[in-house]
Copies of this chain bind each other. A is one copy, B any other.
Amino acid sequence: MDKVKRSERLGAMARILTETPNRIHTLGEFCELFGAAKSTVSEDLDLIGRSFAEFDLGRVETLAGAAGGVRYRPIPSPERARRELDALAERLREPGRMLPGGFLYTSDVTSESRTAQTLGEILAMAYYEAAPDLVLTMETKGIPIALMTARALDVPLVIARRDSRAYEGSAVKINYIAGGGNERIETMALARRSVRAGQRALIVDDFMKGGGTLQGMVDMMREFQAEVVGVCVMIATVEPREKRVKGARSLLVLDGFDRATGRANVLPSEQF
């Protein structure tokens, strides 16, 4: 009878933990849900944790003390993270992705939920210790990856707009310098109520060339008296070497195109 019960609890518990990445659940919560003793729930969590570790499915972490409990973090092994980034780089090297202006067609990849989730989990991994309160991105292409990073960290996503729309209420607007080659002034707007002073922001975007948009987001956070704990992107171009924003990290690098084949030279950055 106990055996059946355990086998019924394990799947449900694994589901509940992984559905709420980085959220702390008390053991009491599971005791109540399953009508089981703390020691029993504790053993269940051990089993799930060992099984996740064995099959590279992320980490189940037990926290002692008053704020104690258990949480799941979707942290891949370095080998799996590297495999995922290699596979992504290979997809982005497919011929036909070269666009005018030295751009790379990535929309099919960035808006795939599975890919966005994998990348979000790899990005989040580097920022659990920095404990951001929110993830900030700028519309549009970075949203899926930023949302999945926010999901892995269990924090809200905040989206800066190109112009303030009526349906977001009063907004802070700033100008920033966009464009690696042909520089131009652009506007970025963020709803006033979306960030509070003192909050810690992780900035996530899909692409960095000159770094102007990312620096714009850093400036925006200064307007809100929020602290930037990290700046990261899916892919950064090698050129220009000097970026407007400092200290940004990327999962992949784009080192131009092979003119003959039209192939993008995309590789993992070794920064994650």
Classify the interface of chain A: helix, strand, loop or mixed. Answer: helix
A140 with B167: in contact, given A10-B11, A47-B11 (CB under 8 Å)?
A: no
Q: Is the CB of B144 within 8 A of A47?
A: no
Q: Which of A33, A101, A117, A141 has the most CB of B within 10 A?
A: A141
Q: Is the CB of B10 within 8 A of A14?
A: yes
Which stretch from A62-70, A148-156, A223-231, A243-251 is at the chain B interface?
A: A148-156
A8 with B54: in contact, given A101-B167, A103-B167 (CB under 8 Å)?
A: yes
Q: Is the CB of A15 within 8 A of B14?
A: yes
Would you call A271 an interface residue if the criterion is a C-beta within 8 Å of the partner chain's C-beta atoms?
no
Would you call A174 an interface residue if the criterion is a C-beta within 8 Å of the partner chain's C-beta atoms?
no
A141 / chain B contacts, CB cutoff of 8 Å: 159, 167
Would you call A12 an interface residue if the criterion is a C-beta within 8 Å of the partner chain's C-beta atoms?
yes
Min C-beta distance of A29 to chain B, whole Å: 12
Instruction: Using C-beta atoms within 8 Å of the partner chain, give the interface range for chain A.
Output: 35 or more
A99 / chain B contacts, CB cutoff of 8 Å: 166-169
Residue-wise, chain A 201-243 has the 8 Å CB interface mask toward B (1 for contact) of 0000001000000000000000000000000000000000000
Copies of this chain per assembly: 2
Q: Is the CB of B113 within 8 A of A150?
A: yes
Chain A residues 44-79 with CB under 8 Å of chain B are: 47-48, 50-52, 54-55, 57-58
Which stretch from A16-24, A84-92, A258-266 is at the chain B interface?
A: A16-24
Q: Is the CB of B47 within 8 A of A7?
A: yes
Q: Whose C-beta in chain B lies nearest to the C-beta of A191? A: B107
Choose from B8, B14, B166, B167 the contact partner of A50 (Cβ within 8 Å): B8
Q: Is the CB of B105 within 8 A of A169?
A: yes
Q: Whose C-beta in chain B lies nearest to the C-beta of A105? A: B169
Q: Is the CB of A54 within 8 A of B148?
A: no
Q: Whose C-beta in chain B lies nearest to the C-beta of A157? A: B111
Would you call A112 an interface residue if the criterion is a C-beta within 8 Å of the partner chain's C-beta atoms?
yes
A104 / chain B contacts, CB cutoff of 8 Å: 167
Min C-beta distance of A257 to chain B, whole Å: 13
- Inter-chain pairs besides A8-B54, A15-B18, A15-B55, 11 sampled, C-beta below 8 Å: A7-B10, A11-B13, A12-B52, A14-B14, A18-B18, A100-B166, A101-B167, A139-B139, A140-B143, A140-B159, A147-B147
